[in-house]
Amino acid sequence: MMVPLLLALGGAIDFGIAYYIKNRLGHAVDSAALAVGSTVEDAVDVTERAGDFIAANYPAGVMGWVHDVSVTVTNDIVTVAAKASFDTHFLKLFQWDRITVSADAEVIRSIKGLELAMVLDNTGSMRGGNNIGALRIAAEDMVDILFGHETEHPYLYISIVPYAASVNPGPEALGGSTNPPDPSWWPEPGDPHYVPFEWTADGTGQGWKGCVMERTGADLLGDDSATGWTPFVYESGPANDYDPDDMPGTVRYNPTTYQNSGTGPNLGCPSPIIPLTNRKGDLVDVIRGLDAWHRGGTMADLGLAWGRRALSPEAPFTEGKAWDEPRWEKAIVMMTDGENQFYRLDKDKWPPNEPDPSVNSDYSGIGWLSSSNPLIGTNSKSTANDIIDARMALACEDIKAQGIIVYTVTFSSSINQATKDLYRDCASDPAKWFDSPSQEDLKASFRAIAIELSRLRVSQ
């Protein structure tokens, strides 16, 4: 009788240990599954993350050992499995040397939708040191992280909003019209080299590229109306020396080739806004084509306003979800490499262009720097800079009040403290401002923002 009694007693002890280990392993695996479920797969090594959480909840040396940790992610279902083994105390007398138990846990990730406007500085200063190239890499990295393995994502829509001294919303700002009225000085049809004043994306810089003159009053940065914009068109003059009667022969459009020597009715007009889209390939194509558009200056307040409009469900862009949609977040990433300012060609080294003593600045999306211009009301460049900064700060507060999450990035080592302060205060909180003195810092900042936005979308 003693042999079976000892076997039963010893077996009970070993099986009790096995039961304890299985319960503890189950708790560790549950914790790991929850951790992985709130992690974006491409942001970290999910198997390593699961292993870390299991180790924290089942530390080595407690009893037995954990092995064969595995993680599978299929669509939004996360499964974590693991095994634990221990050497028996009594059952080994009966050739049962080791007991192995297993545990698994399955988590369904709850996905929030994200609409993101990437408002990117495309001014001419971005050409220095190929900073525009670094921006392309950083922006594409952000898109890669957010999309992961998806090429079309049901819960992710991104808009690209390049800005310089004006913004290019295209025909949407004119109610879809691609053939607005001609400016008073535009050549007459029938002239030998007549170019129609109509929207064109052919890359010649002739006609109307899509930039607009901003509205007046409260509508300047507002989102309460689909009307009020007119086409941006830069008339010929000493600082923009082209012949309106021979645009094919005198417009110098390519910014890489001509820089400040560029000419034409679209001088300083950046690449067009890409409305919210969930197609990764379209976004990557646009990002790879971003360029630095010289002349005019930097009007980040206008870029920020169009970033909000890109997220809005209201015209001119209507792709955005309703403001109060509970399952969707809206965010803006706002980036600059310098202060807000008007630019004026003041050196006679950019032929055929030369300084124009009759004006205080280049033409921009809010016109000339002039006391008679109701959109700025001063001849002073420094006063104008302060006005633009104040407008941007007000737009930041309005955007955050709408529930939009704002990240800001100041890029380059020469950016001044006042601009850093402006962008820090614009962000939803100071931790969402990223000062990036170098190109590597810029890439790291965009990646950090992308990972944070990814975690925002995935909640357990």
By percentage, how much of the chain surpasses pLDDT 70? 94
Residues 363 and 400 in one domain: yes
Across residues 406-419, what is the average pLDDT? 96
Across residues 279-292, what is the average pLDDT? 97
Number of domain units in the chain = 2
pLDDT for 133 equals 97
pLDDT for 110 equals 65
Residues 148 and 176 in one domain: yes
Which of 60, 89, 108 finishes a domain? Answer: 108
pLDDT for 192 equals 84
pLDDT for 368 equals 98
Task: Kindly report the CATH number assigned to the domain that includes residue 368.
Answer: 3.40.50.410
Residues 98 and 121 in one domain: no
Which of 78, 108, 138 finishes a domain? Answer: 108
From 9-13, 42-46, 105-109, 260-264, the region with the lowest mean pLDDT: 42-46
Residues 103 and 144 in one domain: no
**Mean pLDDT over the full length of the chain:** 91
Which of 108, 135, 159 finishes a domain? Answer: 108
In this prediction, residue 108 has a pLDDT band, given cuts at 50, 70 and 90, of confident
Residues 148 and 34 in one domain: no
Residues 39 and 158 in one domain: no
Cis bond upstream, residue 316 (ω within 30)? yes
pLDDT for 94 equals 73
Q: Per-residue pLDDT tens for 55-90?
A: 888 887 778 889 999 998 887 788 999 999 988 887
Q: Per-residue pLDDT tens for 333-390?
A: 999 999 999 999 988 899 999 999 999 999 999 999 999 999 999 999 999 999 999 9
Residues 118 and 199 in one domain: yes
In this prediction, residue 437 has a pLDDT band, given cuts at 50, 70 and 90, of very high
Question: pLDDT higher for 46 or 284?
Answer: 284
In this prediction, residue 43 has a pLDDT band, given cuts at 50, 70 and 90, of very low
Residues 203 and 66 in one domain: no
Q: Which of 182, 209, 216 is nearest to 367 (CA)?
A: 216
Task: Kindly report the CATH number assigned to the domain that includes residue 90.
Answer: 3.30.1300
In this prediction, residue 6 has a pLDDT band, given cuts at 50, 70 and 90, of low
Residues 213 and 265 in one domain: yes
The domain containing residue 399 runs over which residues? Answer: 113-458
pLDDT for 460 equals 39
Residues 95 and 123 in one domain: no
Question: pLDDT higher for 250 or 154?
Answer: 250
pLDDT for 294 equals 97
Across residues 419-438, what is the average pLDDT? 98
Residues 203 and 222 in one domain: yes
Residues 52 and 125 in one domain: no
